[in-house]
Amino acid sequence: MRAVVLAKNGPPDVLSVTDIPTPEPGEGQARIKVAYAAIHPLDIHARSGAMKWGVPPLPFTLGYSYCGRIDKVGAGVDANIIGKRVSVSSQYGGYADYAVTAAANCVPIPDPLSWQTGGFCMGSALTAWHMLHTLCRVRKDDWVVVHSAAGPVGAMLTQIAKDAGCHVIGLVGGPKKVASTKQFGADHLIDYVADKDWPKTVMQITAGRGVDFIMDGNLGPDAAKQFSCLAPLGQVIAIGAMAGPAPEVNISKLIAGSHGVRGFVLPHGLAKTKGAERAELVSKFASGAWTFPVSVAGKLEDVAAAHAAFESRATSGRILLDIGGEI
């Protein structure tokens, strides 16, 4: 079968398609015929070598988030799940024609949702929902800044925050992304490429009040400047570091502003609610109340170009590779 096996760390051009044996499911496992796989930030970090935690030893097959149809199961797994549409996150292996994972990792794709929406919206939507409701406990008229508002998590943060009655300021890179991101309903959009001093603009928008929450998946060397637009008791919620590590936090300044910095990963939110929010999310997508930004960048053979486009921030929303298509 075809697979993208990471043999060495490096730039996107280290990626190519090779032939490897089709895997067989072991005890407690299911094999999935892959339909689509996402270009996920953790695939980027794993490929470049920027992240070691949770990354398998080389060589291994990339693909941290994917969807497909179960075609075979191992011992101890109910055979009735064969043929079901499922999505898988948090385990590499999706950049291939077939992937094997623990059956417990397979999340059914709800019937009302398409392959592309159902396969990839829930992870971003759940992340955004739990950031806003479980972690931040947002209230009506809170002010929220969303980094990468054109991306999948950013788009969901915007829509869910607006549903909660918040005022949303989205940060995007470039006029094209400003135009494409308006559909998600942010009250204000700032092009941070053109406006290097965007925290000052945020203070102007809020009439000097500042914001209650900043949702940041970028961080990077300039991350500290955003504290200047936090309201008293405001918080920065960090969910990633696409722009690189942030400088160390000045604790004295945090104390002076009654500010906070918190991190978030989805499993902790899910453990809190036991998935009680899933029905609401499926209903929102099925009704069209929420939309999810998804597009196909190409086939499996286009993986290197797709990684390069993602890293250069030339893309918006969740970018997919069409591996098996509408199977």
Residue 288 has what DSSP assignment?
T
Alpha carbon distance 19, 3 (integer Å):
6
Helix ranges restricted to H, 49-114: none
Residue 288 has phi, psi (to 5 degrees) of 85, 5
Position 84, amino acid: K
Question: What per-residue confidence (pLDDT) applies to 226?
Answer: 96
Per-residue pLDDT of the chain (327 residues; tens, 9 = 90+): 999 999 999 999 999 999 999 999 999 999 999 999 999 988 999 999 987 888 999 999 999 999 999 999 999 999 999 999 999 987 899 999 999 999 998 989 988 889 988 898 888 899 999 999 999 999 999 999 999 999 999 999 999 999 999 999 999 999 999 999 999 999 999 999 999 999 999 999 999 999 999 999 988 899 999 999 999 999 999 998 778 888 888 999 999 999 999 999 888 988 899 889 988 999 999 999 999 888 899 999 999 999 999 988 777 788 999 999 988
Residue 244: per-residue pLDDT:
82
Complete DSSP assignment for 173-234: SSHHHHHHHGGG--SEEEETTT-TTHHHHHHHHTTT--EEEEEES---TTGGGGGGGEEEEE
Structural domains for the chain: 2-109+293-322 (3.90.180.10), 124-271 (3.40.50.720)
**pLDDT for residue 2:** 98
* pTM assigned to the model: 0.84
Tell me how far CA of residue 277 lies from CA of 136, 268, 271, 325, in angstroms.
16, 14, 12, 29
